Amino acid sequence: MKKLVAYVISVIFLFTILFTGCGSSGSSTSSKNSDQQSDTATSSTKKITVWAWDPNFNIAIMNDAKAIYTKEHPDVQIDVVEMARDEVEQKLNTILASGVKEGLPDIVLIEDYSAQKYLQAYPGAFADLTDKIDYSKFAKYKVELMTLNGRTYGIPFDSGVTGLFYRRDILEQAGFKPEDLNNITWDRFIEIGKKVKEKTGKDLIGFDPADGTLMRAMVQSAGKWFFDKNGEPNLVNNPAVKEAVTTYNKIFHSGVAKKVNGWNDWVATFTKGDVAAVVTGAWIIGSIKSASDQSGKWALAPTPRLNLSTSINASNTGGSSWYVLNYSKNKDVAIDFLKEIFAGNIGFYQKILVERGAIATYLPAQSGSAYSAPDPFFGGQKIYVDLSEYMKKVPPVNYGVYTYETINAIMNVIPDVYSGKISVDAALKEAEEQAKSEINR
């Protein structure tokens, strides 16, 4: 019988805490400004603590937000605490599972794929913001991820909207124009890759056969996910998953993909100029631009779609959002901070787009000057206008509770599809059984 999600998490993380502890970690740091604030705080100061990861993105952006808010609210102290993502999850799960209310942050960053797991495992732990935030001003797919039983929690943050980023110069050398990349299927994308390989000697994309990131984007493009309406793994009778696995197999055998192992190898394929395209979330733009010698040579087109009538040329992969803990002593301040900055400050979103590459899911921000500016690296194309339009079309899906367990089960069996040992149908049956076994342990 399936154990309650909260019980499962409790057992795992309470066991972990015996070895790691739920106190401060060596990898946890607060910003210098936060430390200085702590020294000068008075008894009237309203203090809120934020947990997040990634010093160059989430932490830096939250510090930007803090600076804007505290300038207008000098009686508020905001401590931004940096940890690794795994550490944030470990500490949050451990404390919530124990039932202890002390030691929790006021605001925490949660990855979108994990949102439903937290909301379902710990009812009442997160502030209900349904009546406090105008969610019509955010991308619909993003709001769906933080909604449970008709109530919405959290403030949508960055978008993982996907795109087809490609080397305009290489595609032109192979005889293709920008319009030839618009609204295509994955099959057509592979055909284009074969012509590119023939004419230029370049592979089309870097491809890690063991990584499921692109598969998630493929499935969501069809408005589907990996589960049935009851939250059980649904792979065998899921046409979107079957088509995505079939497409992975086509890419593997196409002769147009440079096979890699891991993130660094994958990024190197396009920063070194070995491939003609990258299909993934917009968060990759920073890595693309790290190859300054390629400035002016890149362009953007919509994501390829699956051979399904429900699939469109728009999807998402990754992203995270901010949540307020119900146990916060200054919950109202925490909510006001997030509402004022992340759900109301258009100028803030222009700043973090330019300086951090963060694409907002707050729709009014996309009318700002930074979004409409031509990007010299992409040949003057207004890529953020295009990405904003793609984002509005991303099909909303419920990521459920066991996304990672299920995608891992698929990636465990897909090598046997590549080798021809088993069919796609047989692989999906085996993966579904593995996922159910893992979930019901």
Sorted by where each begins, the domain ranges of the chain are 5-159+318-367, 162-315+397-439
Nearest to 343, CA basis, from 36, 26, 69: 69
* pLDDT computed for residue 56 by the predictor: 85
User: Residues of the chain with pLDDT > 70: what percent?
Assistant: 90
Residue 167 DSSP SS3? strand
- What's the pLDDT score for residue 366? 92
Q: φ and ψ at 114, to 5 degrees?
A: -105, -5
Phi (first) and psi of residue 258, to 5 degrees: -85, 110
> CA nearest 252: which of 193, 315, 306, 184?
193
pLDDT at 109: 98
Low-confidence ranges of the chain (pLDDT < 70): 1-43
Q: For residues 237 and 411, is the Cβ–Cβ distance under 8 A?
A: no
CA distance 314 to 183: 9
Count CB neighbours of 72 within 10 A. Answer: 8
Which two structure tokens, joined as six digits, stand for 70?
A: 């505290």
Q: Which pLDDT does position 34 carry in this prediction?
A: 43
CB distance 317 to 390 below 8 Å: no
Tokens matching residue 183: 């609204």
- From residue 322, alpha-carbon distances to 158, 191, 348, 430 in Å are 10, 41, 16, 36
The domain 5-159+318-367 is classified under which CATH number: 1.20.1250.20, 1.10.10.10, 2.30.33.40, 3.40.190.10? Answer: 3.40.190.10
Contact predicate 95/14, CB 8 Å: no
Is the CATH number 3.30.360.10 carried by domain 162-315+397-439? Answer: no
Q: How deeply is 282 buried, as exposed, middle or buried, from its count of CB atoms within 10 A (0-12, 13-18, 19+)?
A: buried
Euclidean distance between CA atoms 213 and 196, whole angstroms: 24
Per residue in 97-141, pLDDT (tens digit) is: 998 888 999 999 999 999 999 999 999 999 999 999 999 999 999
Q: 255-300: per-residue pLDDT in tens?
A: 999 999 999 999 999 999 999 999 999 999 989 999 999 999 999 9
The domains spanning 5-159+318-367 and 162-315+397-439 adopt the same CATH topology: yes
pTM: 0.84
